[in-house]
Structure 1
Amino acid sequence: MASDLLSIGASGTRAARSALDVTAQNIANASTDGYIRRTAVMEEVAGASGFRKNDIALSGVRVAGVNRNADMFRQAEVRRTNSDAARGSTELNGLSDIESAVEQADVYSAIVDFEGALKQLGQDPVDPSLRAATLAAADTLASKFNIAANSLDAVGQGEQFDASAEVDQANVLAGELARINQRLARAGAGSTDQASLLDQRDLMLEKLSGITNISTTFATDGTVTVKVGSSTGPALVNGGNATSLAMTTAADGTLSFDVGGTAAAVSGGSLAGHALTLQEVATFRGKLDTLAVNIADAVNTAQAAGVDLDGATGAPLFTGTTAATMTLATTDGRAIATAPAGAAAGSRDASNLTTLSSALDTGGAANRMNSLLFDISSRVSGRQVTSEALNSIADAARSTLQQQSGVDLDQEAANLIRFQQAFQASGRAMQVATDIFDTLIGIG
């Protein structure tokens, strides 16, 4: 016969020992991030029979390899949903920062206070204290616009800094994937080393998907090609080579991305969230600038149409062309042009001041600021609902993958007993073979 009972039993003990090692690895790494449950693959060993040609005799068992209980479809779904959830969470955080920046500046109250000071001044246009209070309200209004604009800039700078750090992290992960590809190309099929490398590969891919949306293509040896965006996007990782992801900041603070000089459509992950937030920063900064300029223009136009307390044509009350540069042009309360053109010095005629108040009311400065605040709050509320939904979907996908590929300690405990019994049974078979052999020798 091709194999005797002793060698068959020995093969059984080796196979059971390998299976016990795999089970022990599963138990030890049950809580390890990215670990996929392993299974020892057993197969029969067949040898040629000694009786007749072409006869087959079973000659024991051997471990053909170590399988990872991985589902590529479910892993791809986890990466996709993780990318969406990261984008949603990052954008929500950015919009919340925008909301805080604009609300805490309290521009709305400053506009209302300025309009109220103008109306009070209309009751006694020559009162120095009322003129001083009106200038103080105007100065506060300009300062509030400055604070709001600077706070928005701070939000934008923070988003750009975080995006830059995440681009660096993406390049680190890409470099690590390239090195894993090189090692996978040399790893033996079904080996423990290959299984460990595949775990590392999948973990790196999941982390990368949280930064940007990716498209993956897997080779038979386990190596992966990673493209940014869709399957037609530029390759970030190809074999053992990684190409750098780069970020460009436009004049308005918005972002664009490229891989090795080729434009990349980043629509997922935290990078997309930062890019969307910066677009919102640019939008709201533009609206804030428009409102500040409109108020300044309305006041300055009214000033030019009247005369100040000294009878001179009113000079501009505000300077600057943006919310950030809006500044009070004078500290002299007498410079407020309350009287109409042609009025004498010290006139109590406040008709020009009435015209100014009407211009602000017609322009709806306070209402426009209120609408701006409502717009931001609405966007935050909407993104919060979206983010919660995306996180729920991502959690469900991760839970489904964990159920399929995670370690079940109850099952592994049962495997420990089963393989231990198989080891003992194979050892017993070897003992029986030895006893039979000793008996036959004794008979001889």
Structure 2
Amino acid sequence: MTDFLTSGVSGLIAFQRALATTSHNIANANTVGFSRQQALLAARPARGTAMSGLGTEVTSVRRIYDQYLVGQVQSNTSSFNRLDAFHRLATQVDDMLAGGGTSVGTMLQDFFNALDTVADDPAALITREAMLGQARALTQRFDQAESRLNALDRDVNSRITNSVSEINALAQSLADLNSQIVASSFGGQASNDLLDQRDNLLTELNSHVSVTTVTQDDGATNVFIGNGLVLVRGGTSEALATTQNEFEPSRLGIKFADGAEITSRLSGGEIGGALDFRREVLDPARNALGRLANGIAATLNQQHRAGIDLTGSRGGDLFATGAPVSQASSFNAGSAPVTTTIDDIATLTTDDYVLRYDGASWSLENSDTGVAVPMTGTGTAADPFRANGLTIEVGPGAAAGDRYLIRPNSNAAAGMELLVSDPAKIAAAAAIIGSTSTSNAGDAQVSAGVVVDAEHPDLLNSVNIVFIDANNYQVDGTGPVPYASGDPIIYNGWQVEISGSPQAGDTFTVSANTAGSADNRNALLLSGLQSAGALDNGSSSLSDSFGTLVASVGTVTQFAAINRDAQQVLLADSEQARLAVSGVNLDEEAANLLRFEQAYQAAAQVISVADELFQTLIGAVRR
């Protein structure tokens, strides 16, 4: 009789627990990260010599869970958020560079078109004014582009700051959950809901930075970032903090609050995407844009100095750009000043460099790859270091271990400005002109001439070229100089050609171009610089350089979009796979609810029958 009642009561309790578990599943059908639970029933064994058991009991409430599938969701979350952050940021650079009528490329084309107009009518002030307007617009567009890149740099800082704050909060919550899970495990089984909460926090943490986990025997999960750096260990967490870059205080990195910087070791998530964007798009775009600004200024300034303006004066520089940056590390013990200048625009690259002092000698390396860069010179003012189009002068006071970041182009676009405001000061005419004596016996003619060295001190001196015979000539009485038909004559920084057949005594004069208001030779040469090989050792023109930049950023952005979309599909698939195993099926739960309700009612009926039998027995005894 007692066993009969005990079995009924055990069934009532067990099915009540099963109903509660089913109800819990139904209530959390739409709870993010919830894993379906199942009450596991087992027969209670008989005691002593009894032939029948003592009913049933709930041995545990099982969490329907697949660690691999959850790990896939977390890994794909990290990858998607990295690609999404990267793509969102890269798209802004791509839009800026390829921005139709307002892009740097369009402004550059408009400027050279205006130069062509000056070449067509070099004496007209209105065309000169239009050219200055386009030059001014070009410098403004460079400045605007640099301002946009600076804004994106600040955006990266903001993302890092926000993610660090979120990571610290999540790490503390994970440590607290670890403590609760360990405490709940003392009863034999950790709380399933606490385990779900921990997985949700780990997924959210992966949205900020990629993490790895190791679960201890007591149920606590240790969390690692940056290839083995402990973020959470049991019930304690480490705090992260932002830190200023050793070379650029305005640029943030990440460190442990009481430890060293770990920025380069972090990957994945929002932080990984922002850092990848900074390294792969932002800095290369800024350097390429800066080199283009330096290229425009260097090539046009050099050619402009080879001409004369409407007043008969030599041309000066058209543009100025921001100077190269030589920034000492905040960890330097010494105080040596370092000054960097651009010496050869043709060999200037878009790379940044780190200059190191080991206590005895200096060395230069690529800041991204760490590859050594050969230098010549001794680093003094009289004999500076020379490398990749740069001169580097180092003053006294360096200490062993000191480092300097050399950024030749990073400041160029922001500092670009137009130096000429008077349209009459545009040097459209060549500085020299060749003339043929009217008393010559032969039919030879001298070309107008071109300037090949605008800095030559004797450039404007008048020079007579007198042919001794058809194969020799003198320059201002100096010679003879051998001559073959078609040979150029180069002297005092200029070059002329002789056409026809010179005779003995034929004289040709090269002198300063003092009446060149209608001369457009220098304007034509200025215009030709758009397509001339000015960069990359003469293999790239100014237009090529910008086109390469646009194509490079566009390609990276396009691949980022493709990879992000593919990763989004993988994330959705992994979430669906997890739901297929752990998600709540309301139809199934409704069936379970009905099944357990019937079982509960049957168990109650068993108790009712046992009660009736017991009452019958009591009544019989009383009689």
Please indicate the TM-score interval, normalised by the length of the shorter structure.
Answer: over 0.9
What is the 5 A alignment of 1:4-15?
4-15=3-14
* Distance in structure 1 (CA, Å) of the matches to 2:35 and 2:17: 17
* Distance in structure 1 (CA, Å) of the matches to 2:516 and 2:110: 25
Structure 1 unaligned residues grouped into runs of 5+: none
Q: For residue 57 of structure 1, report the CA deviation from its aligned partner.
A: 5.1
1:187 paired residue among 179, 184, 187? 184
For residue 214 of structure 2, what is the aligned residue in structure 1? 217
* Distance in structure 1 (CA, Å) of the matches to 2:180 and 2:222: 14
With over 3 angstroms needed to count, the CA separation of the structure-2 counterparts of 1:20 and 1:30, relative to structure 1, is same
For residue 399 of structure 1, what is the aligned residue in structure 2? 576
Letter aligned with residue 17 of structure 1: Q
Letter aligned with residue 58 of structure 2: V
Q: Does the aligned pair in 1 maintain the 2:185–2:218 contact within 8 Å?
A: no
| Structure of larger gyration radius | 2
More RCO (CA 8 Å, sep 6+) = 1
Of 238-247 and 130-139, the range deviating more from structure 2: 238-247
For residue 338 of structure 1, what is the aligned residue in structure 2? 428
For residue 278 of structure 1, what is the aligned residue in structure 2? 278
Of 365-374 and 322-331, the range deviating more from structure 2: 365-374
Q: For residue 271 of structure 1, report the CA deviation from its aligned partner.
A: 0.9
Query: Could you tell me the percent identity over the aligned residues?
Result: 31
What is the 5 A alignment of 1:383-422?
383-422=560-599
What is the 5 A alignment of 1:198-347?
198-230=195-227, 233-248=228-243, 250=245, 251=247, 256-260=253-257, 261-262=259-260, 263=262, 265-279=265-279, 280-321=281-322, 322-341=412-431, 342-344=512-514, 347=517
* Distance in structure 1 (CA, Å) of the matches to 2:187 and 2:527: 81
Q: For residue 319 of structure 1, report the CA deviation from its aligned partner.
A: 1.1
1:81 paired residue among 73, 76, 83? 76
For residue 559 of structure 2, what is the aligned residue in structure 1? 382
Q: For residue 254 of structure 1, report the CA deviation from its aligned partner.
A: 6.8
Letter aligned with residue 16 of structure 1: F
Tell me which protein shows more strand as a share of its residues.
2
* Distance in structure 1 (CA, Å) of the matches to 2:110 and 2:67: 62
Structure 2 unaligned residues grouped into runs of 5+: 323-411, 432-511, 535-540
For residue 527 of structure 2, what is the aligned residue in structure 1? 357
With over 3 angstroms needed to count, the CA separation of the structure-2 counterparts of 1:56 and 1:150, relative to structure 1, is farther
Tell me which protein shows more helix as a share of its residues.
1
| Count of matched residue positions in the alignment of Structure 1 and Structure 2 | 437
Letter aligned with residue 443 of structure 1: A
With over 3 angstroms needed to count, the CA separation of the structure-2 counterparts of 1:254 and 1:78, relative to structure 1, is farther
Q: Does the aligned pair in 2 maintain the 1:309–1:337 contact within 8 Å?
A: yes
* Distance in structure 1 (CA, Å) of the matches to 2:73 and 2:252: 26
Secondary structure, aligned partner of 1:4:
helix
User: Cα deviation per residue 1:192-244 (whole Å; 9 max; x = unaligned)?
Assistant: 971221111011001011111110011234311000143xx101111111112
* Distance in structure 1 (CA, Å) of the matches to 2:244 and 2:295: 29
Letter aligned with residue 350 of structure 1: N
Q: Does the aligned pair in 1 maintain the 2:306–2:430 contact within 8 Å?
A: yes
Secondary structure, aligned partner of 2:54:
strand
Q: For residue 391 of structure 1, report the CA deviation from its aligned partner.
A: 1.0
Q: For residue 285 of structure 1, report the CA deviation from its aligned partner.
A: 0.6
For residue 29 of structure 1, what is the aligned residue in structure 2? 28
For residue 70 of structure 1, what is the aligned residue in structure 2? 65
Q: Does the aligned pair in 1 maintain the 2:94–2:554 contact within 8 Å?
A: yes
1:153 paired residue among 150, 155, 164? 150
Q: For residue 411 of structure 1, report the CA deviation from its aligned partner.
A: 0.9
Secondary structure, aligned partner of 2:317:
coil
Of 374-383 and 234-243, the range deviating more from structure 2: 374-383
With over 3 angstroms needed to count, the CA separation of the structure-2 counterparts of 1:414 and 1:182, relative to structure 1, is same
* Distance in structure 2 (CA, Å) of the matches to 1:277 and 1:354: 41
Q: Does the aligned pair in 1 maintain the 2:420–2:426 contact within 8 Å?
A: no
1:93 paired residue among 77, 88, 109? 88
Q: For residue 441 of structure 1, report the CA deviation from its aligned partner.
A: 2.8
Letter aligned with residue 132 of structure 1: E
1:108 paired residue among 94, 105, 109? 105
Q: Confirm whether residue 131 of structure 1 aligns to residue 128 of structure 2.
A: yes
TM-score (structure 2 length as normaliser): 0.67
* Distance in structure 2 (CA, Å) of the matches to 1:344 and 1:214: 74
With over 3 angstroms needed to count, the CA separation of the structure-2 counterparts of 1:295 and 1:210, relative to structure 1, is same
For residue 478 of structure 2, what is the aligned residue in structure 1? none
User: Cα deviation per residue 1:115-145 (whole Å; 9 max; x = unaligned)?
Assistant: 1111111122121111111111111111111
* Distance in structure 1 (CA, Å) of the matches to 2:83 and 2:296: 35
Secondary structure, aligned partner of 1:298:
helix
* Distance in structure 1 (CA, Å) of the matches to 2:515 and 2:320: 25
Q: For residue 65 of structure 1, report the CA deviation from its aligned partner.
A: 2.5
Q: CA RMSD in A?
A: 2.0
Q: Confirm whether residue 423 of structure 1 aligns to residue 420 of structure 2.
A: no
